[in-house]
Amino acid sequence: MPTYHNAGGGYPNVSAPARQAKLDGNQNHHTIPSNVTSHPLIQNNTQQQQQQQQQQHSVPSNLIASSIPSHPVSPTMTMHSSVTTSNITTHMNTTSSPMILTSNTINPGATTALPANPRHEVKLNAMPWFHGKISRETAERLLRPREDGLFLVRESTNFPGDYTLCVCYQGRVQHYRVKYKNNQLTIDDEEFFENLALLVEHYEQDADGLCTQLTKSLPKQGKQDFCVDPKAFVEAGWVIQTHELELRECIGKGEFGDVLLGVYRGERVAVKMLKDNSEAAQRFLAEASLMTSLIHDNLVKLLGLVFNNQHMYLVTEYMSKGSLVDYLRSRGRLHVSKKDQINFAYDTCAGMAYLESRHVVHRDLAARNVLVAEDNSAKVSDFGLARDENFSLDGGKLPIKWTAPEALKQNKFSNKSDMWSFGILLWEIYSFGRVPYPRIPLADVVKCVEKGYKMEPPDGCPAEVYDIMKQAWDLQPEKRPSFHDIKVTLGQLRAEYTKVVN
């Protein structure tokens, strides 16, 4: 039965009879069936449900929603972001179904467009009621007036790693422990949920043994959290069967784990592998969910995800020439022409202008996070830190030489702070991959920048491009240009270079 805890002690809930009556009537659809498969993370379903889901989503039987591993991850999204209920869908507008470009060989070359299965964006679940690390006393102070059903969720103070559902009832606040069991969340050891959002949704529909039904949430002020349901990728058509993907050698390291070369549908792909089943899985899925809604020629394309019992894989298009910074350094002035440089600048700006139009902030724009395709086109990658506009950062490592002063000092990230980073990226392009601020110690960079210091133009940098850099490095964010405007300028410069070459 549900328990609420006081100083670590558990007490039987007064609403147990109501719960038992409900269970006698029908079993809730969130309850784990008794015939659980040998793998603890896989939940069985009936053959009839499997057939219905296969018909509805055209998903192979071994990848229906109910068979996707429920990874033991934190149900909260702990990336430092300020996502509000109102703006969480502003950049998640549905786009047309993508076309996967494939060829019959693993070698790059002429490609043919094969229609992908119908796909939809995967949306994040906002959790405005999640208040994070607050004490029991703070929760009770916030929950006023004590209307029956007013609630919030916080991290448990008595049981680190668990959560507490705080609900107002008859002028008091009841505190229910939400604990992990079999890698899922439960209050009563009978109803199990894969994340907090599903748990709250359930008790909003039915008290189901709690002191009262959840009727009104108390939103957290400022930065809010969200979660992602792995099954949403199945329903949206983004799951790739394990046998369809051939894994090959490691080609790099990513935020979540190794990046492998793979082959999918006869074409080389890049595969990000999540090594551990931990809180990182939610960040991994958040990156994937964002990529389902952002489709542009100058953004690295998501092809799908693979779920198995041990790992999750994020499959993206393969960029054969690697990162832009490595490309510039390895080829240098002898092989990278002025036309190449302006093309790299324009392509990157075009991708960022698209993100700007969708109110998405990249937050880690640099030549290392731009990839070069076989045809020499540049595409922005690494959406692990990307999120909605105007959020703050509460800590963690920042790339100081690429980050705008207001982001470093005041934790204010926006498309304008991305523009500052783009100015640094332009300097990287025209210096053939040199590290910015080459003669200034890292500890002194911020002080120099705040005093108005701007790097000199690299040798051979066109005056028009250096002018863009200086505009991007304005200490007042509002005075920096937009990516849309810079895209126009770079487009004109690119056209001029094309005429000269021809």
| 272 known ligand binder | yes
pLDDT in tens, 275-288: 654 456 767 787 88
298 is in an annotated binding site: no
Q: What's the pLDDT at 22? A: 38
Q: Exactly one of 208, 225, 347, 364 is catalytic; name it.
A: 364
The reported pLDDT for the residue numbered 426 is 98
- Selected from 3.30.505.10, 2.60.40.1660, 2.50.20.10, 3.40.190.10, the CATH number assigned to the domain covering 127-224 reads 3.30.505.10
Q: What is the pLDDT of residues 196-218, one digit of tens each?
A: 989 999 999 999 999 999 999 99
Farthest-apart Cα atoms in the chain, separation: 83
Confirm or deny that 154 is annotated as ligand binding: no
Domain borders along the chain are: 127-224, 230-317, 322-500
Per-residue model confidence (pLDDT) at position 152? 98
Residue 368, marked binder = yes
- Is the Cβ–Cβ distance between 424 and 319 less than 8 Å? no
Q: Which amino acid is at 309?
A: N
Interval 146-187: pLDDT, tens = 999 999 999 999 998 899 999 999 999 999 999 988 778 999
* pLDDT of 276: 54
Return the closest-CA partner of residue 261 out of 275, 273, 243. Answer: 273
The pLDDT tens digits of the residues spanning 302-331 come to 999 998 767 789 999 999 999 999 999 999
Catalytic (active site) residue 364 = yes
Flag residues of the chain having pLDDT under 50: 1-116, 277-278, 385, 387-396
Strands 302-307, 312-317: pairing is antiparallel
Homologous superfamily of the 230-317 domain (CATH) = Phosphorylase Kinase; domain 1 (3.30.200.20)
Residue 341's H or E segment, with its range, is helix 338-357
Beta pairing, strands 99-102 & 258-264: unpaired
> Counting Cβ atoms within 10 Å, is residue 334 exposed (0-12), middle (13-18) or buried (19+)?
exposed
pLDDT of residue 180: 86
> 290, 300 in Cβ contact below 8 A?
no
Q: 473, 466 in Cβ contact below 8 A?
A: no
Q: What is the pLDDT of residue 284?
A: 78
Which pTM was predicted?
Answer: 0.66
Other beta carbons less than 10 A from residue 450's beta carbon: 12
For the domain bounded by 322-500, which CATH number is listed?
1.10.510.10
